[in-house]
A and B are shown apart, each in its own frame.
Chain A
Amino acid sequence: MLHHTKLALLGMGATLLLSGCTSKIHSCIYTDGFPKGDKDHTAIFVNAKESWRSPSAGYNVKTRETHLLQNMADATLHHSYKYFAIVHPNNKVNNKTGSLINTPDGFLNACTPTGANPFTIFNSPCGYSSEAAMSSAVIYVYRERPYDILTYDAQEVKDYLIKNDSWRSDGIEEYREVCEVKK
């Protein structure tokens, strides 16, 4: 009887430990521009949203893309990696296509309109849609800096956003699939 009780308790403990406490690791399933069959990189799908739907499209793009930068850094650190490179979508900050932008300052200069003025209505300088409330990216993540692609230091990005009061409390709500390389 005691033996059965112990087994049941062990089973319950194991179930508790495993339930929802770990991030989900899936095989590569992305189709939206994600290179199929890429087994050489660990990749994370990240999305972001506007802080609120302001009348200023420029402001909305700014808060959305700043949030994207935050979530790229946060997802990298959450999964115990240190560096990330933007590999999708194919825009001016895509490191895979050779973008030289790899600092928080550089990303924000490239991707956020400089001010809320009427001419930012169709202005989404990074190439993301200027109308959607959300944007997304796929990043490759690394524990050491790779030699063949420029990477962001995730901790540096986080420190920069916190220092500039741009780190939002409504960060990642749901960790998306990780396409992890099995070694």
Chain B
Amino acid sequence: MRRILTICSVAIGLFFLSGCATTTPEIQSKMTRTISLSPNLLQNKVLFLRVTGTEASVLNLEEPLKEALRQKGVKLVENPDEAKISLHINTLFANNLKEAANYKASLIGGGVAGGMAKGYGHNSGDSILIGVGVALAMGIAEHALADETYRAIVDVSLRTKTNETSWSDEEKTRILVEAVQMGLKVEEAKPTMETHVIQKISDILK
């Protein structure tokens, strides 16, 4: 009788807890807005690529991105004077959201709290990072207790050559990738985030 009661208690407990954790990976990626190239530039894709990132990123984008772009028929050049298109990829954050809290704490500990606070509410990646940190601190980041949530925030800026010496105004977008799963490890999340970011970027030059 006691065994039946125990089994029933566990079953009821599991019923209440179901939905708290994500057992299959949930991955989504979005761009804040669409940027596109004119058809004549797509015929002659000579590109100068610059890839940068912050210490808050675990992604390695440069080499796999170059390979993906080559497969799209892009010719990469080292000298911007030879390029028709200039593409700057800057990873603001890519890691477990729990690391965002540490990142924020370490920055504030390093004496730049004022700078970070200034970023809050302004057009900067810092505001998102701070927001993430605040969300975590308040315990309301989605599935914060049960799941591991990884997020990548990558800025993309593109310029095209208008004549031999001058470039167009910068066109910008931001790529957001999120991977959520119970127990998801960084070595599993990293290639997933990289694949999604590279896919989004290379599609611009498709």
Contacts and interface: CB of A to CB of B under 8 A. Distances in A.
Contacts of B178: 100
B172 interface: yes
Interface string B16-33: 100000000000111011
B142 interface: yes
A102 B32 CA distance: 10
A94 interface: yes
A176 interface: no
A38 interface: yes
Contacts of A102: 30
B49 interface: no
A149 B122 contact: no
Contact of B173 (A37, A92, A147): A147
B120 A90 contact: no
Contact of A90 (B33, B121, B135): B135
A13 B138 CA distance: 53
A98 B151 contact: yes
B139 to A, nearest CB: 10
B32 A151 contact: yes
Contacts of A98: 128, 131-132, 151, 153, 176
Nearest to B143: A92
A94 B28 CA distance: 16
B131 A94 contact: yes
Q: Which of B30, B122, B135, B153 has the most CB of A within 10 A?
A: B135
A35 B131 CA distance: 12
B9 interface: no
Interface of B: 16, 28-30, 32-33, 120-125, 127-128, 131-132, 134-135, 138, 140-142, 151, 153, 155, 172-174, 176, 178
Given A100-B28, A148-B125, 10 more contacts: A37-B121, A40-B121, A91-B140, A92-B142, A97-B128, A97-B132, A98-B151, A147-B172, A147-B173, A150-B176
Interface of A: 35, 37-38, 40-41, 90-92, 94, 96-98, 100, 102, 119, 127, 145-151
